[in-house]
Amino acid sequence: MADTASEWEPPALLVAVDLVILTLRGSVFHVLLVERGIEPFQGRQALPGGFLNHEGEDLFDAALRELKEEADLDGSRFHLEQLGAYGAPGRDPRGRVLSVAYLAITPALPEPVAGTDAAGASWTPVEQVLSGSVPLAFDHLQIVSDAVERARSKLEHTPLATAFCGATFTIAELQRVYEAVWDVRMDERNFYRKVQRVPGFIEPAGSNRAVTRGRPARMFRAGPATALLPPITRPEVPSRPEEVE
């Protein structure tokens, strides 16, 4: 016999937030990680985050608080967007935990400073995380994977890449941003053609930069476009050939 509505009790559910902060440092794509100072997964790398302080705390406010407490970064200075919700059973050994993940992709971030229950905080190359050479706590590898895919898609459809260049930049500098985020090598001529055919993406800056050899490099600035039409599509990465037994 099925339970009646009056007999049903909702399961205990804890709500948390996690933050994926992505940036370029040099020409390498990095993610912010903290070293957990407490169990579970003490000593393991993880995304900054934690539980809501109280029932009245807003999710976004909790995200800002955790980022400040665990890495001493002011999230109100850049754009935080919801990435997704993660609530698979068993994702947290402390009980049933639903985590709402937030994402920021932003340039020029300072070195983080660990605080509260974080034993350390640092920028870690994304490739080291995705390859598994830096193991993460909980299901944070999945969250980072989803965030990186969101970032890569944004470069296809928005002028986000120009935010990682200076006020003026060369096509080669813009290409390096795409290569770092997409983790690919691109043909210079093909990339130049793609960029030039997108209206409003970039515009001439009216100056050239001297180079050691050849003609001076043409300088550009970000244009007025907020969406790239047509998009700058990612090169297809060839799959590895199947091993012959």
Paired sense of beta strands 14-25 and 45-46, if any? unpaired
CATH number of the domain encompassing residue 165? 1.10.10.10
144/167 same-domain check: no
Which residue numbers in the chain have pLDDT < 50?
239-245
The answer to whether residue 241 is domain-embedded is no
The reported pLDDT for the residue numbered 239 is 47
Which of 100, 131, 154 marks a domain boundary?
A: 154
The answer to whether residue 229 is domain-embedded is no
> What are the pLDDT digits (tens) for 122-131?
999 999 999 9
45-76 burial, b if ≥16 CB within 10 A, otherwise e? bbbbbbebeeeeeeeeebbbbbbbbbbebebe
The reported pLDDT for the residue numbered 241 is 45
91/175 same-domain check: no
**Helices and strands in the chain: count of H runs, count of E runs:** 5, 9
The answer to whether residue 245 is domain-embedded is no
Question: Residue 176: how many CA atoms within 13 Å on its side-chain side?
Answer: 12
70/164 same-domain check: no
21/40 same-domain check: yes
Which of 97, 125, 154 marks a domain boundary?
A: 154
Which two tokens mark 109? 């971030």
The reported pLDDT for the residue numbered 175 is 97
The reported pLDDT for the residue numbered 243 is 40
The answer to whether residue 243 is domain-embedded is no
97/212 same-domain check: no
59/149 same-domain check: yes
115/198 same-domain check: no
The answer to whether residue 230 is domain-embedded is no
The answer to whether residue 66 is domain-embedded is yes
93/204 same-domain check: no
Pair 19, 46: CB distance under 8 Å: no
The total number of structural domains in the chain stands at 2
DSSP letter at 38 equals: S
The answer to whether residue 204 is domain-embedded is yes
24/144 same-domain check: yes
Q: Match 């930049």 to its residue by tokens.
A: 169
CATH number of the domain encompassing residue 23? 3.90.79.10
- For residue 186, give its domain range: 158-222
75/139 same-domain check: yes
39/143 same-domain check: yes
The answer to whether residue 235 is domain-embedded is no
82/38 same-domain check: yes
